[in-house]
Chains A and B, each alone.
Chain A
Amino acid sequence: MIERYVEIASTYGGNIDALILLIAALVGFWLVLCEVVFIGFIIKFREKPGVRGQYITGEEKHQKRWIAIPHYLVLVCDIVIIVFAVNIWYTVKQDLPEPDVTVRIIGQQWAWSFVHPGTDGLLDTEDDIKMVDELHVEKDKVYHFKLEARDVMHSFSVPVFRLKQDAVPGRIITGWFEATKLGSFDIQCAEICGIGHGMMAAKIFIESPEEHQKWVALNDPTEDSKHTSTVAANNAAAN
């Protein structure tokens, strides 16, 4: 349902949506039920000619049930939510599959920088491809990211992945994703990080293996090639 508004482009995006819908359904059910009961009581016990208002302390057993039974049922719903949430948390945040590729992501006021491995497939070697505001990944490959912050806290957010991870200065946080859809999608900062926070946007380009290899070859810093920023090229075309 959520996918109608924000498409899903990661393997675990559907799980996150399912969890959000589960929570919305359970909370929504209790919201509607409570309102119906409250409004029902208001109508039933409204002012009537010849009927005096009563102060009900709620100490009678049959009165307490109106609180106790929903209370236990809500607790059951909470447990259901927790079981699903922990399961999904474990999948998304803790059970990292073996990576095919590792990239480094650096947040700073107010831009995202990305270090991609070059043709050797290894990070922190001389052929690393360093880009500002654009991350290039291959579809159907497991990526680990090493997330850092240069100044203050940021949050690396890719809505189509349903991924959001805080970047904390002084820490390197490892996460993962596997892209399932080709195209370019938004990256944003989801943690207020200063006056330029709202403009701290970047793009993720999900490419086929052929496209990605071509991009890597074109941007190999060890080759005497012209580096091509896709965003800059798009800006130039727009101008």
Chain B
Amino acid sequence: MTTRLVILAMLSIAASSFGFTPANAEADSNANGKELYQLCAQCHGKDGLGNQVALAPAIAGQRDWYLLNQITKFRSGQRGTHFYDIAGMRMRPMALSLRTDQDVADVVAYVAAMPPEKPAATLEGGDPEKGKTHFQVCLACHGPNGEGMQALNAPTLNHSSDWYLLTQLQNFRAGIRGTNPEDVTGAIMRPMSMTLPDEQALQDVIAYIMTLSESK
């Protein structure tokens, strides 16, 4: 009896030391996500608030499913392989440096849990009142407060940097993003971006988005 108890105790200790308990598994994932994020932090910043000089948008608090989709797209070449996608080409090797699906999941969870912050506006010349009219098309998927909608694969917008939104809208309109045959969700966004009539409309709608706030 004593021998059995000793063996059982040893097995328990061994199991816990190898991280077999669910609590430990979660802690390991968090630790792994935090460690992996050190690479991302070089451009996105330690708080995930982005860095325009490095062409890295704010990602703190972005929806986990959207982050997962985008990292998957970068890894598969649906994003970051267009000749003119300068920022995308910087991101693709970073996404490829995540070696396993678990690594992707861990870093996504870590980023999604970061407290979001409204980035300061960097663009001038947009009219939020006019932008509000244009935004009526956007809100069908992104929601009235730009909070995003998973069912329609529409990310949250109101913690995004304005320069990043402008670049991405320009990319969608120019066919730099959303034209890869496998990028199904990008292909949905591309025609939406084309509904904005001109460059000024992009500025206006972004100026309106920068006024939005939502409680997550």
Contacts and interface: CB of A to CB of B under 8 A. Distances in A.
Interface of A: 108-111, 113, 130-133, 150, 195-196, 199-200, 226, 229, 231-232, 235-236, 239
A188 B216 CA distance: 43
Contacts, number: 54
Interface stretch (B20-28, B91-99, B151-159, B190-198): B91-99
Interface stretch (B59-67, B79-87, B129-137): B79-87
A110 B89 contact: yes
Contacts of A232: 76-78, 81, 180, 182
A96 B77 CA distance: 35
B181 interface: yes
B42 A113 contact: no
B34 interface: no
B89 A199 contact: no
Nearest to A130: B83
Contacts of A131: 83
B86 A108 contact: yes
Nearest to B180: A232
A111 B96 contact: no
Contacts of A235: 76-77
Contact of A110 (B39, B81, B90): B90
Given A133-B81, A196-B93, 7 more contacts: A109-B90, A132-B83, A195-B39, A199-B97, A226-B181, A232-B81, A239-B76
Contacts of B80: 111, 132
A192 to B, nearest CB: 14
Nearest to B181: A226
Contacts of B42: 195
A200 B182 contact: no
Nearest to B42: A195
B91 to A, nearest CB: 9
B42, B78, B82, B89 — which one has the most chain A CB atoms within 10 A of its CB? B89
Interface of B: 39, 42-43, 76-78, 80-83, 86, 89-90, 92-94, 96-97, 180-182
Contacts of A132: 80-83, 89
B93 A199 contact: yes
A60 to B, nearest CB: 61
A236 B93 contact: no
Contacts of A195: 39, 42-43, 94
A41 to B, nearest CB: 52
A200 B77 CA distance: 14
A199 B76 contact: no
B178 to A, nearest CB: 14
Contacts of A229: 77, 81
Contacts of B90: 108-111, 196
Nearest to A109: B90
Contacts of B76: 232, 235-236, 239
A226 B80 CA distance: 18
Contacts of B89: 108-111, 113, 132
Contact of A231 (B77, B93, B97, B180): B77
A196, A226, A229, most chain B CB atoms within 10 A: A196
B86 A200 contact: no
A4 B78 CA distance: 37
B115 to A, nearest CB: 25
A150 B89 CA distance: 12
Nearest to A115: B83
B182 A236 contact: yes
Contacts of B43: 195
B83 A113 contact: yes
A132 B92 CA distance: 11
A107 to B, nearest CB: 10
